[in-house]
Protein backbone atom coordinates (compact mmCIF):
# COMPACT_ATOMS: atom_id res chain seq x y z
CA UNK A 1 0.00 0.00 0.00
CA UNK A 2 2.81 2.39 0.91
CA UNK A 3 4.51 1.64 -2.40
CA UNK A 4 1.32 2.54 -4.28
CA UNK A 5 1.12 5.93 -2.55
CA UNK A 6 4.78 6.58 -3.32
CA UNK A 7 4.32 5.75 -7.00
CA UNK A 8 1.12 7.83 -7.13
CA UNK A 9 2.88 10.87 -5.66
CA UNK A 10 5.62 10.49 -8.26
CA UNK A 11 2.89 10.29 -10.88
CA UNK A 12 1.33 13.53 -9.65
CA UNK A 13 4.74 15.21 -9.79
CA UNK A 14 4.88 14.24 -13.47
CA UNK A 15 1.23 14.93 -14.31
CA UNK A 16 1.33 18.41 -12.78
CA UNK A 17 4.21 19.61 -14.94
CA UNK A 18 3.34 22.45 -17.30
CA UNK A 19 3.44 20.39 -20.51
CA UNK A 20 1.33 17.55 -19.13
CA UNK A 21 -1.23 19.89 -17.57
CA UNK A 22 -1.62 21.70 -20.90
CA UNK A 23 -1.91 18.34 -22.67
CA UNK A 24 -4.67 17.23 -20.29
CA UNK A 25 -6.48 20.55 -20.72
CA UNK A 26 -6.22 20.41 -24.51
CA UNK A 27 -7.45 16.82 -24.58
CA UNK A 28 -10.36 17.63 -22.27
CA UNK A 29 -11.46 20.64 -24.34
CA UNK A 30 -11.26 18.68 -27.60
CA UNK A 31 -13.11 15.80 -25.98
CA UNK A 32 -15.94 18.11 -24.95
CA UNK A 33 -16.46 19.14 -28.58
CA UNK A 34 -16.02 15.61 -29.90
CA UNK A 35 -18.42 14.09 -27.38
CA UNK A 36 -21.12 16.68 -27.93
CA UNK A 37 -21.18 16.25 -31.72
CA UNK A 38 -23.27 13.25 -32.82
CA UNK A 39 -21.39 10.99 -35.17
CA UNK A 40 -17.85 11.41 -33.89
CA UNK A 41 -17.45 9.82 -30.45
CA UNK A 42 -14.36 8.82 -28.51
CA UNK A 43 -13.12 6.20 -30.99
CA UNK A 44 -12.99 8.59 -33.95
CA UNK A 45 -11.74 11.45 -31.77
CA UNK A 46 -8.78 9.48 -30.42
CA UNK A 47 -8.05 8.03 -33.87
CA UNK A 48 -7.92 11.52 -35.43
CA UNK A 49 -5.72 12.93 -32.68
CA UNK A 50 -3.31 9.98 -32.50
CA UNK A 51 -1.20 10.89 -35.60
CA UNK A 52 -0.63 14.38 -34.17
CA UNK A 53 0.99 12.95 -31.04
CA UNK A 54 3.67 10.75 -32.65
CA UNK A 55 6.45 13.33 -32.12
CA UNK A 56 5.37 14.14 -28.57
CA UNK A 57 6.77 12.60 -25.41
CA UNK A 58 4.88 9.30 -24.91
CA UNK A 59 3.72 10.24 -21.41
CA UNK A 60 2.41 13.63 -22.57
CA UNK A 61 0.76 12.05 -25.60
CA UNK A 62 -1.06 9.31 -23.68
CA UNK A 63 -2.22 11.87 -21.10
CA UNK A 64 -3.75 14.00 -23.87
CA UNK A 65 -5.43 11.02 -25.53
CA UNK A 66 -6.78 9.69 -22.24
CA UNK A 67 -8.16 13.15 -21.36
CA UNK A 68 -9.96 13.27 -24.70
CA UNK A 69 -11.36 9.78 -24.08
CA UNK A 70 -12.99 10.36 -20.72
CA UNK A 71 -14.06 13.95 -21.50
CA UNK A 72 -16.19 12.58 -24.35
CA UNK A 73 -18.06 10.60 -21.70
CA UNK A 74 -18.89 13.90 -19.98
CA UNK A 75 -19.98 15.67 -23.15
CA UNK A 76 -22.07 12.92 -24.72
CA UNK A 77 -24.91 13.83 -22.38
CA UNK A 78 -25.10 17.48 -23.48
CA UNK A 79 -27.07 16.98 -26.69
CA UNK A 80 -28.81 13.93 -25.20
CA UNK A 81 -30.34 16.15 -22.52
CA UNK A 82 -30.91 19.31 -24.56
CA UNK A 83 -32.17 18.04 -27.93
CA UNK A 84 -32.74 14.30 -27.39
CA UNK A 85 -29.79 13.32 -29.62
CA UNK A 86 -27.01 11.42 -27.80
CA UNK A 87 -23.51 12.55 -28.66
CA UNK A 88 -22.29 8.95 -28.43
CA UNK A 89 -23.87 5.51 -27.80
CA UNK A 90 -23.30 5.47 -23.99
CA UNK A 91 -25.51 8.56 -23.71
CA UNK A 92 -28.55 6.82 -25.21
CA UNK A 93 -30.01 6.01 -21.79
CA UNK A 94 -29.47 9.60 -20.63
CA UNK A 95 -32.07 10.74 -23.17
CA UNK A 96 -34.75 8.74 -21.34
CA UNK A 97 -34.94 11.11 -18.36
CA UNK A 98 -32.61 13.95 -19.33
CA UNK A 99 -34.76 15.14 -22.21
CA UNK A 100 -37.91 14.82 -20.12
CA UNK A 101 -36.32 17.16 -17.57
CA UNK A 102 -35.56 19.62 -20.38
CA UNK A 103 -39.20 19.54 -21.48
CA UNK A 104 -40.15 20.42 -17.90
CA UNK A 105 -37.81 23.43 -17.87
CA UNK A 106 -35.05 21.74 -15.87
CA UNK A 107 -32.31 21.42 -18.46
CA UNK A 108 -29.71 23.05 -16.20
CA UNK A 109 -30.63 20.73 -13.35
CA UNK A 110 -30.29 17.69 -15.61
CA UNK A 111 -26.90 18.89 -16.85
CA UNK A 112 -25.81 19.51 -13.26
CA UNK A 113 -26.78 15.98 -12.25
CA UNK A 114 -24.91 14.61 -15.26
CA UNK A 115 -21.83 16.68 -14.43
CA UNK A 116 -21.64 15.85 -10.74
CA UNK A 117 -22.44 12.15 -11.13
CA UNK A 118 -19.81 11.92 -13.89
CA UNK A 119 -17.25 13.61 -11.64
CA UNK A 120 -17.95 11.35 -8.66
CA UNK A 121 -17.96 8.24 -10.84
CA UNK A 122 -14.75 9.24 -12.57
CA UNK A 123 -13.06 9.74 -9.20
CA UNK A 124 -14.30 6.37 -7.87
CA UNK A 125 -13.25 4.63 -11.07
CA UNK A 126 -9.71 6.03 -10.92
CA UNK A 127 -9.37 5.18 -7.21
CA UNK A 128 -10.39 1.58 -7.94
CA UNK A 129 -7.99 1.52 -10.90
CA UNK A 130 -5.19 2.79 -8.66
CA UNK A 131 -5.53 0.16 -5.95
CA UNK A 132 -7.26 -2.79 -7.63
CA UNK A 133 -6.43 -2.48 -11.34
CA UNK A 134 -4.55 -5.79 -11.80
CA UNK A 135 -7.16 -7.71 -9.77
CA UNK A 136 -10.06 -6.29 -11.80
CA UNK A 137 -8.22 -7.03 -15.03
CA UNK A 138 -7.92 -10.70 -14.10
CA UNK A 139 -11.59 -10.86 -13.07
CA UNK A 140 -12.59 -9.30 -16.37
CA UNK A 141 -10.71 -12.01 -18.25
CA UNK A 142 -13.02 -14.60 -16.66
CA UNK A 143 -15.71 -13.36 -19.07
CA UNK A 144 -15.29 -15.44 -22.20
CA UNK A 145 -17.66 -15.63 -25.21
CA UNK A 146 -20.26 -17.73 -23.36
CA UNK A 147 -20.34 -15.36 -20.40
CA UNK A 148 -20.54 -12.29 -22.64
CA UNK A 149 -23.41 -13.78 -24.65
CA UNK A 150 -25.35 -14.51 -21.46
CA UNK A 151 -24.85 -11.06 -19.91
CA UNK A 152 -25.79 -9.31 -23.16
CA UNK A 153 -28.91 -11.45 -23.48
CA UNK A 154 -29.82 -10.57 -19.88
CA UNK A 155 -29.37 -6.86 -20.62
CA UNK A 156 -31.53 -7.01 -23.75
CA UNK A 157 -34.28 -8.98 -22.00
CA UNK A 158 -34.25 -6.73 -18.96
CA UNK A 159 -34.62 -3.44 -20.79
CA UNK A 160 -37.26 -4.90 -23.13
CA UNK A 161 -39.29 -6.04 -20.13
CA UNK A 162 -38.78 -3.11 -17.78
CA UNK A 163 -39.04 -0.05 -20.04
CA UNK A 164 -42.48 1.03 -21.07
CA UNK A 165 -45.87 0.25 -19.63
CA UNK A 166 -46.47 -2.86 -21.73
CA UNK A 167 -43.80 -5.61 -21.92
CA UNK A 168 -45.25 -6.86 -25.20
CA UNK A 169 -44.49 -3.54 -26.88
CA UNK A 170 -41.02 -3.58 -25.36
CA UNK A 171 -40.36 -7.04 -26.77
CA UNK A 172 -41.64 -6.03 -30.22
CA UNK A 173 -39.41 -2.95 -30.13
CA UNK A 174 -36.47 -5.17 -29.18
CA UNK A 175 -37.16 -7.59 -32.02
CA UNK A 176 -37.25 -4.66 -34.47
CA UNK A 177 -33.84 -3.52 -33.26
CA UNK A 178 -32.42 -7.04 -33.58
CA UNK A 179 -33.82 -7.34 -37.12
CA UNK A 180 -32.21 -4.07 -38.29
CA UNK A 181 -28.92 -4.98 -36.60
CA UNK A 182 -28.66 -8.13 -38.74
CA UNK A 183 -28.91 -6.18 -42.01
CA UNK A 184 -25.70 -6.43 -44.04
CA UNK A 185 -23.05 -8.95 -44.94
CA UNK A 186 -22.72 -11.99 -42.71
CA UNK A 187 -18.96 -12.10 -42.25
CA UNK A 188 -19.01 -15.76 -41.22
CA UNK A 189 -20.43 -17.08 -44.49
CA UNK A 190 -20.03 -13.99 -46.72
CA UNK A 191 -23.74 -13.89 -47.54
CA UNK A 192 -25.89 -10.73 -47.56
CA UNK A 193 -28.78 -10.54 -45.09
CA UNK A 194 -31.87 -8.38 -45.68
CA UNK A 195 -30.01 -6.10 -48.11
CA UNK A 196 -32.65 -6.56 -50.87
CA UNK A 197 -30.04 -5.91 -53.56
CA UNK A 198 -29.09 -2.49 -52.18
CA UNK A 199 -25.29 -2.29 -52.18
CA UNK A 200 -25.22 0.42 -49.50
CA UNK A 201 -26.86 -2.01 -47.07
CA UNK A 202 -24.11 -4.62 -47.42
CA UNK A 203 -22.12 -2.83 -44.71
CA UNK A 204 -25.19 -2.67 -42.47
CA UNK A 205 -27.06 0.28 -41.01
CA UNK A 206 -24.82 2.71 -39.14
CA UNK A 207 -25.72 3.61 -35.59
CA UNK A 208 -25.46 7.40 -35.99
CA UNK A 209 -28.08 7.84 -38.78
CA UNK A 210 -30.33 5.41 -36.94
CA UNK A 211 -30.15 7.10 -33.54
CA UNK A 212 -30.45 10.61 -35.01
CA UNK A 213 -33.50 9.53 -36.98
CA UNK A 214 -35.12 7.64 -34.12
CA UNK A 215 -34.66 10.44 -31.58
CA UNK A 216 -33.89 13.72 -33.38
CA UNK A 217 -35.85 13.55 -36.65
CA UNK A 218 -38.72 11.89 -34.82
CA UNK A 219 -38.91 14.89 -32.46
CA UNK A 220 -38.78 17.35 -35.38
CA UNK A 221 -41.63 15.52 -37.16
CA UNK A 222 -43.69 15.55 -33.97
CA UNK A 223 -43.18 19.30 -33.52
CA UNK A 224 -43.99 20.01 -37.17
CA UNK A 225 -47.26 18.07 -36.97
CA UNK A 226 -48.14 19.74 -33.67
CA UNK A 227 -47.15 23.16 -35.09
CA UNK A 228 -44.78 23.75 -32.18
CA UNK A 229 -41.13 24.82 -32.13
CA UNK A 230 -37.92 23.43 -30.80
CA UNK A 231 -37.94 25.62 -27.74
CA UNK A 232 -38.18 24.62 -24.10
CA UNK A 233 -39.47 26.84 -21.37
CA UNK A 234 -36.89 27.27 -18.68
CA UNK A 235 -37.13 29.25 -15.48
CA UNK A 236 -33.48 28.72 -14.59
CA UNK A 237 -31.22 31.71 -14.20
CA UNK A 238 -28.24 31.81 -16.50
CA UNK A 239 -25.62 31.60 -13.77
CA UNK A 240 -23.46 29.08 -11.98
CA UNK A 241 -26.42 28.44 -9.68
CA UNK A 242 -27.68 26.08 -12.37
CA UNK A 243 -24.80 23.80 -11.45
CA UNK A 244 -25.76 23.47 -7.82
CA UNK A 245 -27.87 20.69 -6.38
CA UNK A 246 -29.64 21.13 -3.08
CA UNK A 247 -29.16 18.66 -0.26
CA UNK A 248 -32.36 16.77 -1.05
CA UNK A 249 -31.30 16.28 -4.68
CA UNK A 250 -27.82 15.15 -3.63
CA UNK A 251 -29.37 12.52 -1.35
CA UNK A 252 -31.68 11.51 -4.17
CA UNK A 253 -28.86 10.74 -6.62
CA UNK A 254 -26.25 9.57 -4.08
CA UNK A 255 -27.16 5.88 -4.10
CA UNK A 256 -27.53 5.43 -7.88
CA UNK A 257 -24.31 7.35 -8.47
CA UNK A 258 -22.25 5.23 -6.07
CA UNK A 259 -23.77 1.90 -7.11
CA UNK A 260 -23.48 2.69 -10.82
CA UNK A 261 -19.87 3.81 -10.36
CA UNK A 262 -18.81 0.45 -8.97
CA UNK A 263 -20.89 -1.40 -11.55
CA UNK A 264 -19.48 0.68 -14.40
CA UNK A 265 -15.88 0.20 -13.28
CA UNK A 266 -16.32 -3.57 -13.22
CA UNK A 267 -18.09 -3.70 -16.60
CA UNK A 268 -15.41 -1.46 -18.10
CA UNK A 269 -12.79 -4.08 -17.24
CA UNK A 270 -14.56 -6.77 -19.28
CA UNK A 271 -13.18 -7.03 -22.83
CA UNK A 272 -15.93 -6.26 -25.32
CA UNK A 273 -18.43 -4.87 -22.81
CA UNK A 274 -17.57 -1.16 -22.92
CA UNK A 275 -19.21 2.01 -21.67
CA UNK A 276 -22.46 1.47 -23.58
CA UNK A 277 -23.20 -1.84 -21.88
CA UNK A 278 -22.32 -0.29 -18.52
CA UNK A 279 -24.80 2.57 -18.94
CA UNK A 280 -27.59 0.20 -20.02
CA UNK A 281 -27.02 -2.17 -17.10
CA UNK A 282 -26.89 0.70 -14.59
CA UNK A 283 -30.16 2.14 -15.87
CA UNK A 284 -31.83 -1.27 -15.76
CA UNK A 285 -30.61 -1.87 -12.20
CA UNK A 286 -31.90 1.51 -11.04
CA UNK A 287 -35.20 0.95 -12.83
CA UNK A 288 -35.56 -2.37 -11.03
CA UNK A 289 -34.32 -1.50 -7.53
CA UNK A 290 -34.40 2.30 -7.12
CA UNK A 291 -36.62 4.10 -4.64
CA UNK A 292 -37.95 6.31 -7.44
CA UNK A 293 -38.26 3.53 -10.03
CA UNK A 294 -41.85 4.41 -10.93
CA UNK A 295 -40.71 7.80 -12.26
CA UNK A 296 -37.82 6.44 -14.31
CA UNK A 297 -38.30 7.50 -17.91
CA UNK A 298 -40.50 10.43 -16.85
CA UNK A 299 -37.80 12.88 -15.79
CA UNK A 300 -36.21 11.27 -12.72
CA UNK A 301 -32.85 12.64 -11.60
CA UNK A 302 -31.75 9.05 -10.91
CA UNK A 303 -32.35 8.26 -14.59
CA UNK A 304 -29.64 10.76 -15.50
CA UNK A 305 -27.25 9.97 -12.65
CA UNK A 306 -27.14 6.18 -13.09
CA UNK A 307 -26.12 5.88 -16.77
CA UNK A 308 -23.78 8.87 -16.63
CA UNK A 309 -22.00 7.52 -13.56
CA UNK A 310 -21.70 4.08 -15.13
CA UNK A 311 -20.23 5.17 -18.46
CA UNK A 312 -17.68 7.51 -16.85
CA UNK A 313 -16.59 4.85 -14.37
CA UNK A 314 -16.37 2.32 -17.20
CA UNK A 315 -14.04 4.65 -19.10
CA UNK A 316 -11.66 4.53 -16.12
CA UNK A 317 -12.14 0.79 -15.70
CA UNK A 318 -11.14 0.20 -19.32
CA UNK A 319 -7.57 1.16 -18.42
CA UNK A 320 -7.21 -1.75 -15.96
CA UNK A 321 -6.85 -4.57 -18.52
CA UNK A 322 -5.09 -2.21 -20.94
CA UNK A 323 -2.28 -1.24 -18.55
CA UNK A 324 -2.07 -4.45 -16.50
CA UNK A 325 -2.47 -7.07 -19.22
CA UNK A 326 -2.17 -5.23 -22.52
CA UNK A 327 -5.72 -6.24 -23.44
CA UNK A 328 -8.09 -3.51 -24.69
CA UNK A 329 -11.68 -3.73 -23.46
CA UNK A 330 -13.11 -1.24 -25.97
CA UNK A 331 -12.45 0.25 -29.40
CA UNK A 332 -10.94 3.39 -27.90
CA UNK A 333 -8.67 1.33 -25.64
CA UNK A 334 -7.53 -0.62 -28.70
CA UNK A 335 -6.45 2.61 -30.41
CA UNK A 336 -4.58 3.68 -27.27
CA UNK A 337 -2.87 0.27 -27.23
CA UNK A 338 -1.78 0.80 -30.83
CA UNK A 339 -0.39 4.21 -29.94
CA UNK A 340 1.62 2.84 -27.02
CA UNK A 341 3.09 0.11 -29.20
CA UNK A 342 4.08 2.64 -31.87
CA UNK A 343 5.95 4.54 -29.18
CA UNK A 344 7.81 1.33 -28.38
CA UNK A 345 5.91 0.66 -25.16
CA UNK A 346 4.22 -2.71 -24.63
CA UNK A 347 1.43 -2.63 -22.00
CA UNK A 348 1.29 -5.61 -19.69
CA UNK A 349 2.50 -6.87 -16.33
CA UNK A 350 5.95 -5.28 -16.84
CA UNK A 351 4.62 -1.82 -17.74
CA UNK A 352 4.62 -0.61 -14.13
CA UNK A 353 8.20 -1.88 -13.75
CA UNK A 354 9.74 -0.86 -17.07
CA UNK A 355 7.84 2.41 -17.56
CA UNK A 356 6.62 3.54 -14.10
CA UNK A 357 6.64 7.21 -15.08
CA UNK A 358 4.21 6.66 -17.92
CA UNK A 359 1.90 4.29 -16.01
CA UNK A 360 1.63 6.31 -12.81
CA UNK A 361 1.75 9.64 -14.63
CA UNK A 362 -1.27 8.55 -16.66
CA UNK A 363 -3.20 7.40 -13.58
CA UNK A 364 -2.39 10.64 -11.72
CA UNK A 365 -3.44 12.69 -14.75
CA UNK A 366 -6.84 11.00 -14.65
CA UNK A 367 -7.43 12.56 -11.22
CA UNK A 368 -6.50 16.04 -12.45
CA UNK A 369 -8.24 15.55 -15.80
CA UNK A 370 -11.46 14.59 -14.04
CA UNK A 371 -11.40 17.89 -12.15
CA UNK A 372 -10.69 19.82 -15.37
CA UNK A 373 -13.62 18.14 -17.15
CA UNK A 374 -15.96 18.90 -14.26
CA UNK A 375 -14.99 22.59 -14.24
CA UNK A 376 -15.35 22.97 -18.02
CA UNK A 377 -18.75 21.25 -17.98
CA UNK A 378 -19.96 23.33 -15.03
CA UNK A 379 -18.98 26.59 -16.72
CA UNK A 380 -20.75 25.48 -19.91
CA UNK A 381 -24.15 24.81 -18.33
CA UNK A 382 -25.49 28.41 -18.33
CA UNK A 383 -24.49 28.81 -21.98
CA UNK A 384 -26.17 25.55 -22.99
CA UNK A 385 -29.35 26.40 -21.08
CA UNK A 386 -29.37 29.79 -22.79
CA UNK A 387 -29.46 28.01 -26.18
CA UNK A 388 -32.94 26.75 -25.30
CA UNK A 389 -34.19 30.35 -25.31
CA UNK A 390 -33.29 30.85 -28.95
CA UNK A 391 -36.50 31.41 -30.97
CA UNK A 392 -37.88 28.22 -32.55
CA UNK A 393 -37.64 29.73 -36.04
CA UNK A 394 -33.85 29.87 -35.61
CA UNK A 395 -33.17 26.86 -33.38
CA UNK A 396 -35.19 24.26 -35.29
CA UNK A 397 -33.35 24.74 -38.62
CA UNK A 398 -30.04 24.55 -36.72
CA UNK A 399 -31.09 21.21 -35.24
CA UNK A 400 -32.10 19.95 -38.69
CA UNK A 401 -28.72 20.95 -40.14
CA UNK A 402 -26.88 19.23 -37.27
CA UNK A 403 -28.88 16.05 -37.89
CA UNK A 404 -28.16 16.05 -41.64
CA UNK A 405 -24.45 16.87 -41.30
CA UNK A 406 -23.94 14.29 -38.54
CA UNK A 407 -25.62 11.54 -40.57
CA UNK A 408 -23.73 12.44 -43.75
CA UNK A 409 -20.35 12.67 -42.00
CA UNK A 410 -20.31 8.99 -41.01
CA UNK A 411 -19.65 7.67 -44.53
CA UNK A 412 -19.95 10.84 -46.64
CA UNK A 413 -23.02 9.22 -48.13
CA UNK A 414 -26.43 10.63 -49.02
CA UNK A 415 -27.84 7.16 -48.43
CA UNK A 416 -27.30 7.62 -44.68
CA UNK A 417 -29.47 10.75 -44.80
CA UNK A 418 -32.30 8.75 -46.38
CA UNK A 419 -31.84 6.08 -43.71
CA UNK A 420 -32.05 8.78 -41.04
CA UNK A 421 -35.30 10.14 -42.49
CA UNK A 422 -36.84 6.67 -42.84
CA UNK A 423 -35.94 5.73 -39.28
CA UNK A 424 -37.27 9.10 -38.13
CA UNK A 425 -40.67 8.25 -39.61
CA UNK A 426 -40.55 4.86 -37.88
CA UNK A 427 -39.66 6.62 -34.62
CA UNK A 428 -42.63 8.95 -34.99
CA UNK A 429 -45.02 6.00 -35.17
CA UNK A 430 -43.21 4.37 -32.24
CA UNK A 431 -43.96 7.46 -30.14
CA UNK A 432 -47.49 7.84 -31.44
CA UNK A 433 -48.44 4.29 -30.49
CA UNK A 434 -46.41 4.30 -27.24
CA UNK A 435 -43.70 1.84 -28.24
CA UNK A 436 -40.50 2.43 -26.22
CA UNK A 437 -37.45 3.30 -28.32
CA UNK A 438 -34.80 2.36 -25.71
CA UNK A 439 -35.21 -1.43 -26.25
CA UNK A 440 -34.96 -0.81 -30.00
CA UNK A 441 -31.67 1.08 -29.60
CA UNK A 442 -30.19 -1.32 -27.07
CA UNK A 443 -30.99 -4.35 -29.21
CA UNK A 444 -29.49 -2.65 -32.25
CA UNK A 445 -26.27 -1.79 -30.39
CA UNK A 446 -25.79 -5.11 -28.60
CA UNK A 447 -26.95 -7.60 -31.24
CA UNK A 448 -23.62 -7.60 -33.16
CA UNK A 449 -21.77 -8.29 -29.90
CA UNK A 450 -24.28 -11.00 -29.00
CA UNK A 451 -23.93 -12.64 -32.41
CA UNK A 452 -20.12 -12.54 -32.26
CA UNK A 453 -20.07 -14.01 -28.75
CA UNK A 454 -22.50 -16.77 -29.72
CA UNK A 455 -20.42 -17.71 -32.76
CA UNK A 456 -17.20 -17.75 -30.74
CA UNK A 457 -18.79 -19.84 -27.99
CA UNK A 458 -20.08 -22.43 -30.47
CA UNK A 459 -16.73 -22.49 -32.27
CA UNK A 460 -14.92 -23.16 -28.99
CA UNK A 461 -17.34 -25.94 -28.01
CA UNK A 462 -17.62 -27.46 -31.51
CA UNK A 463 -21.30 -26.58 -31.65
CA UNK A 464 -22.18 -27.86 -28.17
CA UNK A 465 -24.71 -25.55 -26.50
CA UNK A 466 -23.85 -27.02 -23.10
CA UNK A 467 -20.97 -24.54 -22.90
CA UNK A 468 -23.48 -21.95 -21.66
CA UNK A 469 -24.50 -24.27 -18.82
CA UNK A 470 -21.06 -25.57 -17.94
CA UNK A 471 -19.61 -22.09 -17.39
CA UNK A 472 -20.66 -20.96 -13.85
CA UNK A 473 -20.85 -17.24 -14.69
CA UNK A 474 -22.87 -17.89 -17.83
CA UNK A 475 -25.17 -20.24 -15.91
CA UNK A 476 -25.78 -17.56 -13.26
CA UNK A 477 -26.89 -15.01 -15.88
CA UNK A 478 -29.10 -17.56 -17.65
CA UNK A 479 -30.67 -18.46 -14.30
CA UNK A 480 -31.39 -14.77 -13.70
CA UNK A 481 -33.11 -14.56 -17.10
CA UNK A 482 -35.22 -17.61 -16.24
CA UNK A 483 -36.17 -16.39 -12.75
CA UNK A 484 -36.99 -12.81 -13.67
CA UNK A 485 -38.43 -13.06 -17.18
CA UNK A 486 -39.74 -16.61 -17.66
CA UNK A 487 -41.11 -17.73 -14.28
CA UNK A 488 -43.30 -14.64 -13.48
CA UNK A 489 -45.21 -14.66 -16.83
CA UNK A 490 -45.71 -18.44 -16.57
CA UNK A 491 -46.94 -18.08 -13.00
CA UNK A 492 -49.30 -15.27 -14.02
CA UNK A 493 -50.62 -17.31 -16.96
CA UNK A 494 -51.18 -20.35 -14.73
CA UNK A 495 -52.99 -18.23 -12.16
CA UNK A 496 -55.26 -16.78 -14.87
CA UNK A 497 -56.10 -20.29 -16.13
CA UNK A 498 -57.00 -21.44 -12.60
CA UNK A 499 -59.30 -18.46 -12.10
CA UNK A 500 -61.10 -19.18 -15.39
CA UNK A 501 -61.42 -22.87 -14.42
CA UNK A 502 -62.97 -21.99 -11.06
CA UNK A 503 -65.48 -19.75 -12.77
In tens, the pLDDT along 379-388 reads: 877 777 776 6
pLDDT in tens, 17-76: 888 889 888 888 888 887 777 656 677 778 778 777 878 888 888 888 888 888 887 887
What is residue 238's predicted lDDT score, i.e. its pLDDT?
A: 46
Q: Would you say residue 246 has pLDDT above 70?
A: yes
What is residue 54's predicted lDDT score, i.e. its pLDDT?
A: 77
Task: Characterize the bridge pairing of strands 191-193 and 184-186.
Answer: antiparallel
Segment 469-476 long-range contacts (CB within 8 Å, at least 24 positions apart): 471/144, 471/146, 471/147, 473/142, 473/143, 473/147, 473/150, 474/146, 474/147, 474/149, 474/150, 475/150
What is residue 318's predicted lDDT score, i.e. its pLDDT?
A: 81
Does residue 265 contact residue 314 with C-beta atoms inside 8 Å? yes
Closest C-alpha to 82, from 104, 105, 99 = 99
Query: What pTM, to 2 d.p., does this model score?
Result: 0.75
Residue 338: helix, strand or coil by DSSP? helix
Radius of gyration of the chain (CA): 23
Q: Exposed, middle or buried, 256 (CB in 10 Å: 0-12/13-18/19+)? A: buried
Residue 24: helix, strand or coil by DSSP? helix
Out of 146-150, 191-195, 350-354, 417-421, pick the least confident. Answer: 350-354
Question: Sorting pLDDT into bands at 50, 70 and 90, what band is 446?
Answer: confident
Residue 396: helix, strand or coil by DSSP? helix
What is residue 227's predicted lDDT score, i.e. its pLDDT?
A: 59
Q: Please tell me the distance from the alpha carbon of residue 46 to that of residue 358, in angstroms, as a whole number.
A: 18
| Mean pLDDT, range 149-172, rounded to an integer | 77
Q: Please tell me the distance from the alpha carbon of residue 337 to that of residue 241, in angstroms, as a whole number.
A: 41
Question: Sorting pLDDT into bands at 50, 70 and 90, what band is 425?
Answer: very high
User: DSSP string of 285-309?
Assistant: HHHHH-TTGGGTTTT-HHHHHHHHH
What is residue 236's predicted lDDT score, i.e. its pLDDT?
A: 47
Question: Sorting pLDDT into bands at 50, 70 and 90, what band is 338?
Answer: confident
pLDDT in tens, 105-131: 788 888 889 889 999 998 998 888 888
Maximum mean pLDDT: which of 206-215, 364-373, 413-422:
413-422
Residue 463: helix, strand or coil by DSSP? coil
- pLDDT above 90 coverage of the chain, percent: 7
Cβ-based neighbours of 22, under 8 Å, separated by 6 or more: none
Q: Would you say residue 213 has pLDDT above 50?
A: yes
Question: Sorting pLDDT into bands at 50, 70 and 90, what band is 3?
Answer: confident
Does residue 87 contact residue 276 with C-beta atoms inside 8 Å? no
Does residue 96 contact residue 438 with C-beta atoms inside 8 Å? yes
Q: Would you say residue 461 has pLDDT above 80?
A: yes
Which residues make beta-bridge pairs with 193?
A: 184
Amino acid sequence: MEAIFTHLLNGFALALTENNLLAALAGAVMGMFVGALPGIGSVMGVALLLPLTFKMDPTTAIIMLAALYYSTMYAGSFTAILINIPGDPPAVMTTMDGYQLTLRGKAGKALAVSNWSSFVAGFIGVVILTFMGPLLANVGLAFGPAEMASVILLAIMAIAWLLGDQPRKGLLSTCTGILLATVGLDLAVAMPRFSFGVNELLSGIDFIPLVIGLLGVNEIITMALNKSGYQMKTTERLSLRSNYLNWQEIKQIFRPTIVSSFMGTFVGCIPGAGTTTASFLAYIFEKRTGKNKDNMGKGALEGVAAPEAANNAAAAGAFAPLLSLGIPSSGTAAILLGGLMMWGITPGPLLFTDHPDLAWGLIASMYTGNVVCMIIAALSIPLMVHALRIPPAILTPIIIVICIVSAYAVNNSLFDIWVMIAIGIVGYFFNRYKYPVAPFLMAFILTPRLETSLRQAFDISNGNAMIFIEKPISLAFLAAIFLFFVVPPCFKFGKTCLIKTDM
